[in-house]
Amino acid sequence: MTHTESIDGLTSPAATCSYLYALLGECFAYPDVDLVENLRSGALLAQIQKLCDALDSALLQGLDAAVFNDPAASLDALKVEYTRLFDAGAQGTGCSLNGGLQRGPQMKVMEEAVRFYAHFGLTLTEEQKELPDHLTTQLNFLHFLAYGEHLLQTQGESTDAYRLARRDFIARHPGRWLPIMEDKLRTMEPMPLFLSFTELLRRLLALDLAQLQAQHGEASLKPSGDMPFGGL
């Protein structure tokens, strides 16, 4: 599952949602040169503004979005801060980006996430750097589900399977544990950039879940047989 190539051709709310999940998945990965270049050039801010305006402008209301444009961004500083906040180490997990370490037990959380992925024929390869419960893995899955919905819409086919899975996955996984992580993050006096990433993602998850539940009913928080979600 990879980030889509361009955001110029937004044609549906599902496509927009997919792009935003993919973009935030990249933002929560270990900082690299691309992130720094996008911060320095203002490209990251422009992308986020375009996607949020297309989806729901309230996503950015009251958010410190100015931090998404930083001409003085330093890769070394971002790496040091990312490690301090999110990487497990001698002093514990801090604000771990692994959901099972925020709301466990981790093995059970990972097993259920893998069942979600497997239902859609997805597997984690040896090249996959993160575990099934890591935030970047989960955001890539939500990107996949939302984009799958978009493709089915364009073909005139039912999107229920992808929408129900997205509803239940948000409710059972990132939507459930991200607020816990955010509370911990705030106690660590983080770099504003990472706090704004987290706030924006929490808002996106809440908006997406609310819209899905409005059409399909409340999400199930209990697995149904071998399926981690019901209704299919």
Nearest to 169, CA basis, from 146, 190, 203: 146
CA pair distance 110, 57, nearest whole angstrom:
33
CA pair distance 118, 149, nearest whole angstrom:
17
**Torsional sign, CA 129, 130, 132, 135:** negative
pLDDT tens, residue by residue, 1-21: 333 445 555 678 999 999 999
What's the predicted TM-score (pTM) here? Answer: 0.90
**Residues 116, 165: contact at Cβ < 8 Å?**
yes
pLDDT at 82 over 50: yes
Average pLDDT, the chain: 88
List the domains of the chain with CATH numbers. 13-216 (1.10.3480.10)
**Residues 16, 54: contact at Cβ < 8 Å?**
yes
How large a percentage of the chain has pLDDT more than 90?
A: 78
Q: Give the residue, 36 or 103, on which the prediction is more confident.
A: 36
pLDDT at 72: 96
> Which ranges of the chain does DSSP label H, i.e. alpha helix?
13-27, 33-41, 43-55, 75-86, 99-102, 106-119, 135-154, 160-172, 174-187, 192-216
**Residues 65, 39: contact at Cβ < 8 Å?**
no
Mapping DSSP to helix (H, G, I), strand (E, B) and coil, where does residue 92 land?
A: strand
CA–CA distance from 108 to each of 93, 97, 114 (Å)? 18, 16, 10
